[in-house]
Amino acid sequence: MLTFSIIIAVYNDWRALGDCLDSVTGQKDGPDFEVIVVDDGSSQSAPEAIVKRARRLPLTLVTQSHAGISAARNHGIRVSKGSILLFVDADCRLQPDCLAALSATIVASPHQNYFQLRLVGDCTQLVGKTEHLRLTTLQKQMLEPDGRIRYLNTAGFAIRRAVVPAESGLFDESAIRGEDTLLLAHLTERAQLPFFVPGAIVQHEVSLSLSKCLRKDVRSAYVEGATYALIAARGVNIRMRHRERLKMLVSMWQTSRLSSIGKFAFLCLILRQSSSRTTSLLYRLLHYRPASLRSKAASVKGTL
């Protein structure tokens, strides 16, 4: 029988975590589970309201010095006991039948080890609409005919414990951000893409104004530049081709014509994506070294 360990890394986002835990409490007909909350050195300890959740949930709260989300998730893996590890973020909300749908898919797919849950946004506010448009279009674009997906987002990602490396951990702790993309690159090398579970739905909340969201996008894109550099160094190409980007753009425009989304959300998403893309290009320009210099550096390193 499957048992789930829901691992949530937290850094100063206690308010969002409360709603996330409420969504876990409200699961219907799902498997047995435990919740592991890893506090990655937040400036304030867990509020009493969070601690009291242990009365209604099999909740374990552990704390570590601030070391980043990868280290926090690896810490959660070591503490957990479930046969299935499910990673979600504090600002995520599991739909009531999420765990039941995920469990059914895992049982019916014994040869699959990695599972990407379906991510959606909150369409009650503008930034949420842009997030919904981004997530749904991206997942549709990346889905393969065999049901696997060229996409991995730890806002809703599950893995069988049996395939998690015991020594090194699942996540590369050198990646400050984009650790899920780095994991995707690793799985792509091994031809083991995640299996998409459309019935297991996780809503990703973005409770920021558009201006704050843009600033976060830019900051994230710059920090993730180092992770993409690691991926490029391994010779793995996970970026979309220009034709795929154009196809995705057309799909986003068509989806934005729905009354629940709107064309203004499409324009705002283009602004978000353009800001992130420009920042990524800027990172590469600032950290670019000609091949001759890289070769020289490598030869010097070899003589030390």
pLDDT(81) > 90? yes
pLDDT value at residue 185? 92
pLDDT(150) > 60? yes
Domain boundaries, the chain: 3-208
Give pTM, 2 decimals: 0.90
Residue percentage of the chain with pLDDT more than 90: 68
Residue percentage of the chain with pLDDT more than 70: 94
Give the CATH fold of the 3-208 domain. Answer: Spore Coat Polysaccharide Biosynthesis Protein SpsA; Chain A (3.90.550)
Average pLDDT value for residue range 161-169: 89
What pLDDT, in 10s, does the model give residues 275-295?
A: 998 998 888 888 765 544 444
* Torsion angle (degrees, nearest 10) of CA 150, 197, 210, 286: -20
Band the pLDDT of 301: cuts 50, 70, 90. very low
Q: In what order do the strands lie in the sheet with 59-64?
A: 59-64, 32-40, 3-10, 84-89, 156-160, 114-121, 195-204, 92-94
Torsion sign, CA atoms 275, 277, 279, 285: negative
Which residue bears the tokens 């890893």? 38
Q: What is the mean pLDDT of the chain?
A: 89
